[in-house]
Chains A and B, each alone.
Chain A
């Protein structure tokens, strides 16, 4: 079983729709990252969370530490949001604090 699971794997939406991408993890973590990988391959860091909720523009990320679950929401989606969204967790076992474990990504396509 993967330590970080994302759902759905693929998502197609119409412009303007509200989008939710989910990330569940099975390890103890100190933080969770959301990344965006553009069609050209470049990767951008969107959020890092250790609790609660963060908002940046049309993007909202939430995390529930007790349930080991995080969601990334996109409001009023736009074709330029089309990308692969990747969840990564910073596992904390005391000995490898720099280690990041990644989900396999959610490919989002927003149609005009």
Chain B
């Protein structure tokens, strides 16, 4: 089944304890992206990757790192989490991100992170 998976789905942690949220897709997609969703602010893009070893900042990259060593995986790393990173996180992928070419984005199920 074609899908985007995220792990963990729920995580409660403490300030400063490094964590990684994994994202994996099995559709051979080039484009992958991370978003956070907060009440009243909606979805905001954190980082995206157009292909392996190609990543770029979205609107809210501060406090996050990403890597794209393999096509299928795009982990989100919080080196020193803080309470303002408490949020619902979504990973998404699409085949490509070429201008004017339709490419449906497939979203993962979300990871609810709480930083105490």
Interface of A toward B, CB cutoff 8 Å: 30-31, 33, 35, 41-45, 48, 50, 86, 88, 92, 96-105
Contact = CB atoms under 8 A, between A and B. Distances in A.
Main secondary structure of the interface of B (DSSP, over half): strand
Given A88-B43, A103-B42, A98 B33 contact: yes
Contacts of A98: 31, 33, 48-50, 56, 97
A40 B41 CA distance: 18
A99 B58 contact: yes
A29 B64 CA distance: 26
Contacts, number: 61
A100 B107 contact: no
26 contacts: A30-B100, A31-B99, A33-B105, A41-B88, A41-B110, A42-B107, A43-B90, A43-B92, A43-B107, A43-B110, A44-B107, A45-B105, A45-B106, A45-B107, A48-B103, A86-B42, A96-B56, A97-B97, A98-B50, A99-B45, A99-B59, A100-B33, A100-B45, A102-B43, A102-B45, A103-B42
